[in-house]
Structure 1
Amino acid sequence: MKTETLAYLPGTDVAENYTGNFSELKIAIAGISISLFMMNLDTSIVSVGLPTMIKSLKTTFASAQWFVLAYLLVLTALITAAGRLGDIIGKKKLYLAGIVIFTVASLLCGISNSAALFILFRGLQGLGAALILALSMAIATELTPKKMLGKTMGVLSTITALGIAGGPTIGGILLSTFGWQSMFLVNIPFGIVAYGLGYKYINSPTIKKRMPIDKVGIILLAATLSSYCFGMTMIEKSYFGNPIVLTLLAVTIIGLVVFIRFEKRIAHPLINVAIFKNRLISKNLFTTVLVYTVIITTVILPPFYLLKAANYSLVQVGLIMSFGPLLTVALSIYAGKIADGYGAKNVMFCAVITIAIGCFCMSTITPADNIVGYLWRIGIIALGLNFFKTPNNTVVMEIAPADQRGLLSGFLSLSRILGQITGTTVMGVIFAVLSGVSGTSKIGSSPQAITYGFHVVFLINAFIASFAALLIYPKFLKQNA
């Protein structure tokens, strides 16, 4: 067994106190990986069981949407606050609390006998997920030597992709074999193992002096993010003309202004907004939003094109759709090594350019192209995403101040979520109107119309990704960091 002591860790607060070895580090990262796998598996597994759950819980499709929304709203509203509270109270303590909350909530979801109770417990799961997602990368950063940080982030990215990719398949097996309850009860052994490994092997620094908790800031930020999330979700059905949507988006803007002004005036803010004066941090977070606005469309739109325009079967579409996530899983570990070797900024810039090229190629696809024609296009996009995620995490976490790592870890996760919400709604609306899927288009949802809508969305994606690449051009970042 290798017992070499870690000589250097990012942040002297950990380096001075850490007495473990590389074997213990690997076990600690394995524990974090299990918690991330559990959380991401659960995020993607629910959609498979919705039809069965609607029937079992004797509810409607409208109510069942809250099975997903309750989780998403709580996660979005609290993830940034969770990261900052970890900096104040202690990352290990809140991270382990997140595992307990998520695991117990999974048990309660699995034994729920009504839609109302299930929605309540899904919200509780969202709270646990916020704590896990916000603090996992921050803890991994504290434990990992700087020269190995890219590799560690690559491992965590691989596990995240595995959880997302495996959700539909594992969900289908559990659903058909043991019933929908098993899709939540399966989290219990994962949670127990993740908690045990985290409790024993995560060595997070003790908070010597606790600062006051900005309760008002937490409430303001949660309300602002909830307004945005709920407003954007409603756009999918009613578009931008709905007064409620416009009101919620206005509340979001007002809430953000009020929150920033409040945070600038108090002695111990939830978020020190001065941190965003660092252009490297602010541009990377904004780029993350843009990239995931693009990437989510590769999940929600291809089934429409492949089924209704290219006329593939459901089985074929399922297999085709698994190609991108599987490619990401296969290459994630190499992304960390390459980022360590060639510089995270350079790799990240090339990755976003690759995504832009892949989106442009996707905007030229036609039903006459065979499966290979789709796979090589989505493969380019998946390749770009793979080499964006790990370096992006590495760049932000590497420069994060020791007392702000939880906050920035939370912001990275929030950026991805906001991008996914924005892409799902805005790009979804554009596609629905242009393709006729919405039912409002005079041309109807013919194969030609669906192909046209698909082309326009991915052409827009190519421009968005190109703009994102300009934001993180390495020389520009070096000059303005």
Structure 2
Amino acid sequence: MTPHSDSRTSGSAEAGSGAGQAGAGTGTGTGAGKTGTPHAVRWALAGLSLSVLLSSLGTGIAHVGLPALAQAFSASFQAVQWIVLAYLLAITTLVVGAGRLGDLVGRRRLLLAGISLFTAASVLCAAAPALWLLVGARAAQGVGAAVMMALTMAFVGETVPEERTGSAMGLLATMSAVGTALGPSLGGALLAGFGWRALFLVNVPLGIVAFLLAHRHLPAGRHRPAGADRARFDHVGTLLLALTLAAYALAMTLGRGRFGALNAALLLAAAVGVALFVRAEARVASPLVQRALLRDPAIGAGLASSALVSTVMMATLVVGPFYLSRALGLDGGAAGLVLSAGPLVAAVTGVPAGRLADRFGARRTTLLGLLVMAAGSLTLAVAPASTGVLGYVTPLAVVTAGYAVFQTANNTAVMADAGPDRRGVVSGMLNLSRNLGLVTGASVMGAVFARGSGTADIASAHAGAVAAGMRFTFLVAAVLVLAALTAAATRRP
């Protein structure tokens, strides 16, 4: 990830110019592309930022309401967990297909449809009279969120001047972190004051504002000449990829931490799905994911690094609550306050990280972020045992800051290598790699923690066993970060 090449500059400039002309010619949007005024660019970024905030808020805000929802619907905890799982599965399985569809039918049009679907589904969630309807509405909400996630980064290349790309990516990363951090606290306040339906109704006014900003300020797509060939959407590849990812996600999340026969069968189904997907993509004229994209050193390494680093970040969420309560003796409120340090650090680091990428080049900034993460992971493995809460919070802040720097710079560099007609699918693949890392981390890093603790029942493990699991987990995390660092260091400029 280095300062941008001439070929990228040329391609991006053409995309921005085309988008601006299309917006002016159709009267839809302002054409706030790279040739637009700074005022128009700011409003366009506001619309994209709000879209990112909504999608990340939708992930975190529902968790806090699960006990109340279980009581309201007289359902088991395992049943109401599908309120969260349906949303995450919809995003994970559809985010790549949504990005590719945006490349074909027009990103602005599809983004407006995604925001509309997310907002309407939020109303349906709040009005659901039965649990199965709520789960279905959450899945529809996840479809809208997948579209928003897939297309927001793709729009940066069309709306933001070249020299400010990193700053824009940092802003989007900041809004994602804000949504993650705000979800539990806002959800708790809404739940206490207005009941569980408010958890979903809060999205409605925000969704309306996001729609109006996107409709008014985002550039319309470039018009194709009459009779020009139009690539077909890869329905078979999209279906195979969605089924494969669903099988993998379910294999990693079902079983409440235990890997049984069902998990193994789902994992086998995912492996078969990968083979069928690769075979199908080799036979279609317009594949969903071109193999040339994955063979590109910058894009392939960027996606692999993103998955590895997201797996590590999940370890802080898996290990943290047990370590703080069992080893350090904190109550629930104090532990929650400590855990909120991570998202807060990410929120304040995103924009400065983007400025670093703009100034020093995305590749060097990526390496810096990974080095900081490796140092923080190693410190997490040894410091808390001797220094207590401060020894946990400080390296956690270091890891999170390094992650924010890495994510912003890595996204900037990967999108820089994507042609104007492939930005949607590449943006979707970036989000997919992150989601797969989080899903994998929830299972794998939990198993690593249990192995390091030497006990199958972490909830009742003694303080020494939990501390041993903590050390082992973050030593493994440091190894994963170093693997990502190796991939990033060998990437071609």
| Matched ranges for 1:425-440 at <5 A | 425-435=443-453, 438-439=456-457
CA distance in 2, matches of 1:217, 1:328: 35
**1:362 maps to which of 348, 364, 380:** 380
The C-alpha deviation readout for 1:170-191, integer Å capped at 9, x for no partner, is 1111110111110100000000
**1:418 maps to which of 416, 436, 439:** 436
- Once the two structures are TM-superposed, the CA of residue 377 in structure 1 deviates from its matched residue by 1.1
Equivalent position of 2:27 in the other structure: none
Equivalent position of 1:99 in the other structure: 115
> Does structure 2 conserve the Cα–Cα contact (< 8 Å) formed by 1:355 and 1:381?
yes
Equivalent position of 1:313 in the other structure: 331
| Matched ranges for 1:66-85 at <5 A | 66-85=82-101
Deviates more, 1:455-464 or 1:326-335: 326-335
| Matched ranges for 1:114-263 at <5 A | 114-208=130-224, 209=228, 210-234=230-254, 236-239=256-259, 242-263=260-281
> Does structure 1 conserve the Cα–Cα contact (< 8 Å) formed by 2:59 and 2:88?
no
Residue identity matched to 2:39: S
Q: Percent sequence identity over matched residues?
A: 36
Equivalent position of 1:113 in the other structure: 129
**1:15 maps to which of 14, 17, 20:** 17
Gaps in structure 1 of 5+ consecutive residues = 1-6
- Once the two structures are TM-superposed, the CA of residue 23 in structure 1 deviates from its matched residue by 0.6
- Aligned with 1:84: secondary structure? helix
TM-score for both structures, normalised by structure 1 = 0.94
CA distance in 2, matches of 1:192, 1:437: 49
CA distance in 2, matches of 1:50, 1:128: 22
CA distance in 2, matches of 1:183, 1:361: 37
| Matched ranges for 1:398-413 at <5 A | 398-413=416-431
Residue identity matched to 2:103: D
Equivalent position of 2:28 in the other structure: none
Q: Does 1:477 align with 2:482?
A: no
Structure 1 runs (4+) greater than 4 angstroms displaced: none
- Once the two structures are TM-superposed, the CA of residue 64 in structure 1 deviates from its matched residue by 0.9
CA distance in 2, matches of 1:459, 1:107: 45
Residue identity matched to 1:37: L
- Once the two structures are TM-superposed, the CA of residue 298 in structure 1 deviates from its matched residue by 1.0
CA distance in 2, matches of 1:440, 1:387: 32
After superposition, the Cα gap between the structure-2 partners of 1:412 and 1:207, relative to the gap in structure 1 and judged at 3 Å, is farther
> Does structure 2 conserve the Cα–Cα contact (< 8 Å) formed by 1:109 and 1:181?
yes
- Once the two structures are TM-superposed, the CA of residue 213 in structure 1 deviates from its matched residue by 1.6
Gaps in structure 2 of 5+ consecutive residues = 1-8, 21-30
Residue identity matched to 2:235: K
Residue identity matched to 1:213: F
TM-score for both structures, normalised by structure 2 = 0.91
CA distance in 1, matches of 2:372, 2:458: 35
CA distance in 2, matches of 1:8, 1:466: 34
> Does structure 1 conserve the Cα–Cα contact (< 8 Å) formed by 2:458 and 2:466?
no
> Does structure 1 conserve the Cα–Cα contact (< 8 Å) formed by 2:18 and 2:221?
no
> Does structure 1 conserve the Cα–Cα contact (< 8 Å) formed by 2:18 and 2:222?
no
TM-align CA RMSD = 1.7
- Once the two structures are TM-superposed, the CA of residue 83 in structure 1 deviates from its matched residue by 0.4
CA distance in 2, matches of 1:243, 1:207: 52
- Once the two structures are TM-superposed, the CA of residue 238 in structure 1 deviates from its matched residue by 2.4
The C-alpha deviation readout for 1:301-337, integer Å capped at 9, x for no partner, is 1111001110012221121111121112112111011
Equivalent position of 1:292 in the other structure: 310
Residue identity matched to 1:145: P
